[in-house]
């Protein structure tokens, strides 16, 4: 059953008032695939001033805080930590194009988890990279945005990728 729907199929923000406040962590990850020249420009642009990835990092951190404003049924949460990291990769077997890997870790002490905050941070950081490079390359794609692990709360530890 989808918990965000009531017995009549209507959307609702589920009740978390009975759940205890515990320390919770979520890590999400995603990728932006791009042409080799685009990756070259980002690599160059990120040295020495770093503004491409710096802008994407700030956008991702700010978006994590805006999550309940964007996702209709998300609970507002007092986020205690956000970290957004990037790794620049050359093509490999699973990636036919150069790609930026984005990882966001979000933590809170709250009655519900921060998976959506971590996923939103990754998605908005990825959108920001697209925006900053789109004059060069409109074929970039945002892909493989998923949850990597979560800790805390009733469901305990969940590690989807080692």
Instruction: List the interface residues with a copy of itself, window 106-145 (CB under 8 A).
Output: 107-111, 115-116, 119-120, 123-124, 126-128, 130-136, 138-145
Q: Which of 85, 131, 137, 157 is catalytic?
A: 131
- Least distance to a copy of itself, CB of residue 37, Å: 11
Instruction: List the interface residues with a copy of itself, window 87-106 (CB under 8 A).
Output: none
3-state secondary structure of 134: coil
For the question of residue 131 being annotated catalytic, the response is yes
Alpha carbons 23 and 28: distance in angstroms, whole number = 17
Instruction: Considering the complex, state which of residue 90 and residue 159 has its C-beta at the smaller distance from a copy of itself.
Output: 159
Ligand-binding site membership of 74 (annotated): yes
Q: Is 62 left (phi over 0), alpha (psi -120 to 50) or beta?
A: alpha
Alpha carbons 109 and 122: distance in angstroms, whole number = 21
């Amino acid at each position: 059953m989808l918990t965000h729907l009531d017995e009549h199929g209507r959307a609702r923000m589920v009740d978390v008032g009975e759940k205890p406040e515990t320390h919770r962590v979520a890590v999400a990850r995603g990728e932006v695939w791009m042409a080799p020249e685009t990756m070259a420009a980002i690599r160059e642009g990120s040295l020495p001033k770093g503004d491409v990835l710096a802008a994407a990092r700030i956008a991702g951190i700010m978006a994590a805080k805006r999550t309940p404003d964007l996702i209709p049924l998300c609970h507002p949460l007092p986020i205690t930590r956000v970290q957004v990291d990037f790794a620049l990769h050359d093509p490999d077997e699973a990636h036919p194009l150069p790609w930026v890997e984005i990882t966001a870790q979000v933590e809170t002490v709250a009655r519900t988890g921060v998976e959506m905050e971590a996923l939103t941070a990754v998605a908005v950081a990825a959108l920001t990279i697209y925006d900053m490079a789109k004059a060069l390359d409109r074929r970039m794609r945002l892909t493989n945005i998923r949850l990597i692990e979560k800790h805390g709360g009733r469901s305990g530890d969940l590690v989807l990728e080692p």
